[in-house]
């Protein structure tokens, strides 16, 4: 299966699966069960993705091995009571962030099967060559809509190894209970040498207890073999990073059609339609949230007067070493806010104007309700502008989270922020905020 390929995944019981697993195409898509079927003469259970964290049956006698682990995210459920937290999939940048399967209850986070398997894999992947050889590849999938169907399809995002596992505390929106869980960061491997695909026969070899692990490597992707031989030091050269390098598509910058984020962003645009200058206050609110979520201390300064701002809409500061004595760790943040039509890309001229105002060490933040064209993103990367680009989808996601966490509706929040706008107006040399 190839990266970004969408596979038809009709769910059903064993009898239904057996009827369709010999069919290569269903509804114009490759059939998951055909692609992952076991070899002739084997009667293994079908490979399935019923959970977020999926594993095949352990194989071998004595010290058993895990043939593979498969993660499945469901973006259409993000923000719901069932899945308030959000996994992150960035296959083009070789990165995945995935939350474990713990739930509120009496069990410890590591006692849940999915967490236990991922932690076992993390230990092996952090070990020596023999450990890495025995460790399971982590296959990453994403449930996606297709052909008018919200469910019944998965997209292959790649194969990776676990970089780190962190114990965090989450809140269950339905019960309001907090509980410990693990979050995993996964490096997705470069499959360019394998035509951007994996051979499922590799997985089937790993499922066959009679095949030594060394022999399984014969069908593994080249990047996996290099990682097994050379370990973590090789990840910098074998991690997936497509030619576009951090250039994000328009689709990824706009909320999914029919989602809560799409509704929120449309309502934000309508709210500020006749008072777009007040969007600057919301943009600063979003900026502060971004830094706070990354444990970076943000100090609000002022919002500039409309018409004479010279390309700057708000001024703030960040401190990357707030407990230190040296003020050199504090830097100016210049922000620009654009409440723009949601279906048109923002102008590169505005970004260039913001970048031109930055002095050494300063950070720019550009917040828009629309999105950034790939050309604009490339220019920012090539010129190495220190500018944080915040698209409409990210604005909507941040606002949606805040509304959920604080039990507010959107109008209440926008009225509150807009009501503080006048008192926030100011002017002066941005350096003054460092005093």
Q: Within this chain, do residues 161 and 294 fall inside the same structural domain, yes or no?
A: no
Q: Within this chain, do residues 274 and 394 fall inside the same structural domain, yes or no?
A: yes
* pLDDT single digits (tens) 312-366: 999 999 998 888 877 788 999 999 999 999 999 998 889 999 999 999 889 999 9
For residue 156, the model assigns a pLDDT of 96
Q: Within this chain, do residues 221 and 200 fall inside the same structural domain, yes or no?
A: yes
Does residue 245 lie within any of the structural domains?
A: no
CA distance 325 to 305: 33
* CATH number of the domain that residue 101 is part of: 2.30.280.20
Structural domains of the chain, count: 2
Q: β-strands 314-319, 297-304: how paired?
A: antiparallel
Q: Is the pTM of this model over 0.75?
A: no
For residue 83, the model assigns a pLDDT of 45
Q: Within this chain, do residues 231 and 265 fall inside the same structural domain, yes or no?
A: no
For residue 379, the model assigns a pLDDT of 83
* CATH number of the domain that residue 281 is part of: 3.40.1350.10
Q: Within this chain, do residues 299 and 213 fall inside the same structural domain, yes or no?
A: no
Does residue 342 lie within any of the structural domains?
A: yes
Q: 396: domain range?
A: 250-434
Q: How would you write 37-70 as a 3-class SS string?
A: CCCCCCCCCCCCCCCCEEECCCECCCCCECCCEE
Among the three residues 213, 238, 263, which one is the final residue of a domain in this structure?
238
Q: Within this chain, do residues 232 and 281 fall inside the same structural domain, yes or no?
A: no
Does residue 244 lie within any of the structural domains?
A: no
Does residue 128 lie within any of the structural domains?
A: yes
Q: Within this chain, do residues 266 and 369 fall inside the same structural domain, yes or no?
A: yes
For residue 60, the model assigns a pLDDT of 77
Question: What is the percent of the chain with per-residue pLDDT over 70, rounded to a whole number?
Answer: 95
Q: Within this chain, do residues 266 and 188 fall inside the same structural domain, yes or no?
A: no
Cβ-based neighbour number of residue 274 at 10 Å: 7
Does residue 243 lie within any of the structural domains?
A: no
For residue 82, the model assigns a pLDDT of 43
Q: Within this chain, do residues 201 and 123 fall inside the same structural domain, yes or no?
A: yes
Q: Within this chain, do residues 267 and 202 fall inside the same structural domain, yes or no?
A: no
Does residue 324 lie within any of the structural domains?
A: yes
Among the three residues 200, 216, 238, which one is the final residue of a domain in this structure?
238
111: tokens are 């006692």
* pLDDT single digits (tens) 19-28: 998 999 999 9
Q: β-strands 297-304, 425-426: how paired?
A: parallel
Q: Within this chain, do residues 279 and 226 fall inside the same structural domain, yes or no?
A: no
Q: Within this chain, do residues 308 and 361 fall inside the same structural domain, yes or no?
A: yes
For residue 244, the model assigns a pLDDT of 54
Which regions in the chain score pLDDT beneath 50? 76, 78-84, 243
Does residue 428 lie within any of the structural domains?
A: yes
Backbone dihedral region of 384: left (phi > 0), alpha (psi from -120 to 50 degrees) or beta? Answer: left
């Amino acid at each position: 299966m190839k990266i970004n390929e969408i596979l038809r995944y009709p769910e059903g019981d064993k009898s239904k699966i057996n009827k369709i697993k010999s069919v290569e195409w269903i509804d114009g898509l490759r059939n998951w069960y055909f692609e992952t079927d076991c070899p002739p003469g084997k009667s293994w259970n079908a490979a399935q993705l019923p959970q977020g964290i999926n594993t095949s049956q352990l194989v071998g006698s004595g010290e058993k091995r895990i043939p593979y682990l498969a993660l499945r995210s469901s973006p259409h459920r993000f923000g719901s009571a069932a899945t308030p937290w959000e996994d992150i999939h960035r296959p083009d940048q070789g990165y995945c962030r995935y939350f474990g399967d713990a739930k509120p209850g009496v069990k410890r986070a590591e006692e849940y099967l999915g967490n236990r398997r991922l932690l076992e894999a993390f230990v092996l992947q952090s070990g020596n060559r023999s450990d890495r050889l025995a460790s399971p590849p982590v296959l990453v999938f994403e449930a996606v809509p297709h052909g008018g169907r919200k469910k019944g399809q998965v997209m292959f995002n790649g194969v990776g190894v676990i970089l780190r596992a962190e114990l965090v505390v989450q809140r269950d929106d339905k019960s309001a209970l907090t509980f410990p869980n693990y979050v995993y960061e996964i490096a997705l491997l470069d499959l360019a040498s394998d035509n951007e695909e994996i051979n499922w026969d590799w997985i089937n070899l790993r499922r066959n207890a009679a095949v030594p692990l060394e022999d399984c490597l014969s069908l593994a992707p080249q990047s996996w073999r290099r990682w097994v031989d050379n370990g973590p030091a090789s990840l910098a050269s074998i991690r997936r990073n497509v030619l576009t390098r951090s250039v994000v598509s328009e689709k990824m910058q706009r909320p999914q059609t029919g989602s809560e984020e799409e509704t929120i962003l449309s309502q934000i645009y309508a709210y500020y339609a006749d008072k777009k200058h007040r969007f600057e206050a919301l943009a600063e609110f979003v900026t502060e949230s971004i830094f706070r979520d990354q444990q970076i201390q943000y100090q609000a300064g002022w919002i500039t007067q409309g018409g004479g701002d010279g390309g700057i809409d708000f001024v703030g500061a960040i401190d990357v070493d707030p407990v230190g004595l040296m003020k050199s760790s504090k830097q100016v943040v210049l922000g620009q806010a654009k409440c723009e039509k949601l279906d048109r890309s923002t102008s590169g001229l505005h970004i260039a104007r913001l970048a031109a105002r930055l002095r050494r060490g300063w950070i720019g933040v550009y917040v828009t309700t629309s999105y950034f064209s790939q050309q604009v993103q490339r220019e920012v990367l090539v010129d190495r502008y220190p500018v944080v680009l915040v698209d409409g989808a990210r604005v909507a996601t941040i606002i949606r989270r805040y509304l959920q966490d604080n039990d507010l509706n959107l109008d209440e929040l926008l009225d509150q922020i807009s009501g503080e706008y006048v008192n926030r107006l100011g002017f002066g040399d941005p350096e003054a905020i460092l005093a």
